[in-house]
């Protein structure tokens, strides 16, 4: 990494921002608020009919970061093409996020999307064409529930400066936000960010360090149990292929 850029990131402050939103937590939080303000400016004026869903599209392949991003952008570019051709008439908003997980073989690019009115069949079909896995969940809580999801997936991923810079280089200045024709992108100043309404977050119960650690241990135990269950079930399936044979 270039030493000059590294020093700029490490010495970032309110007066001299580095604007490295993938590497610097301070600038990452400002980027998050700016995108969230863009979202809310339109979303607050929309009347929602039907249900809202949270979708995550992911390419769980063994490849390097550049190859994983290319696979995701092939999917994103097809969405943008459908939008340009007026084939997507429903409301959607999403972000291509890159986290780092050892169990996911390193860098893990995935597209988060909120889709309104349940009109996502065309996206699922497109995901199948690109051989992407899809996770989905109906969003409860009305508009506040949707805002919670969007605020969550716009978060800063604290993966370290070097990894953050690796993601920046691999992205090669490509936009990570994707949205329907209902939304727009505009510059947001600091005064506007100070006026953000965070009541949608509600009141969060404070957790002790002991509870946080306990929850972490339980999650790890559940992960091990699920892995063990899957391995043992595969053994049984091999033993009784006539029962577990896929149709």
Most confident segment among 116-120, 129-133, 192-196, 242-246: 129-133
How many percent of the chain have pLDDT more than 70?
87
User: What pLDDT was estimated at residue 104?
Assistant: 58
What region, left, alpha or beta, does residue 50 occupy, with left being phi > 0 and alpha being psi -120 to 50 degrees? Answer: left
Tens-place pLDDT, residues 26-62: 999 999 988 998 898 888 888 777 788 999 999 888 8
We find that the CATH architecture of domain 3-201 is: 2-Layer Sandwich (3.30)
Please answer whether residues 96 and 108 qualify as being in contact, where contact means their C-beta atoms are separated by less than 8 angstroms.
no
Name the residue ranges covered by the structural domains of the chain.
3-201, 209-244
pLDDT band at 247 (very low <50, low <70, confident <90, very high): very low
CA–CA dist 230, 125 (Å, integer): 27
User: What pLDDT was estimated at residue 112?
Assistant: 96
Round the average pLDDT of the chain to a whole number and report it: 85
Most confident segment among 71-75, 203-207, 236-240: 71-75
State mean pLDDT over 104-133: 88
Tens-place pLDDT, residues 136-173: 999 888 888 888 899 999 999 988 899 999 999 999 99
Tens-place pLDDT, residues 185-200: 776 666 666 667 677 6
User: What pLDDT was estimated at residue 219?
Assistant: 87
């Amino acid at each position: 990494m270039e030493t000059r850029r590294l020093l700029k990131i490490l010495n970032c402050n309110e007066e001299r921002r580095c604007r490295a939103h993938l590497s610097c937590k301070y600038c990452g939080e400002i980027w998050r608020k700016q995108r969230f303000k863009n979202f809310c400016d339109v979303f607050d004026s929309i009347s929602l009919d039907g249900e809202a869903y949270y979708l995550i599209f992911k390419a769980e392949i063994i490849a390097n970061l550049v190859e994983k991003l290319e696979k995701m952008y092939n999917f994103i570019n097809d969405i943008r093409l459908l939008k340009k051709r007026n084939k997507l008439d429903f409301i959607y908003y999403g972000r291509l996020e890159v986290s780092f997980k050892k169990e996911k073989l390193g860098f893990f690019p995935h597209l988060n999307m909120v889709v309104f009115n349940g009109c996502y069949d065309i996206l699922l079909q497109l995901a199948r064409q690109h051989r992407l896995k899809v996770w989905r969940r109906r969003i409860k809580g009305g508009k506040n529930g949707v805002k919670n999801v969007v605020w969550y997936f716009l978060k800063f991923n604290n993966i370290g400066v070097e990894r953050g810079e690796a993601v920046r280089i691999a992205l090669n200045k490509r936009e990570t936000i994707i949205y329907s024709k209902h939304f727009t992108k505009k510059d947001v100043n600091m005064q506007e960010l100070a006026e953000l309404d965070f009541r949608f977050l509600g009141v969060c119960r404070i957790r002790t360090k002991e509870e946080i650690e306990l929850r972490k241990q339980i999650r790890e135990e559940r992960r091990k149990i699920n892995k063990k269950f899957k391995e043992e079930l595969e053994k049984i399936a091999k033993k009784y292929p006539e029962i577990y044979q896929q149709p």
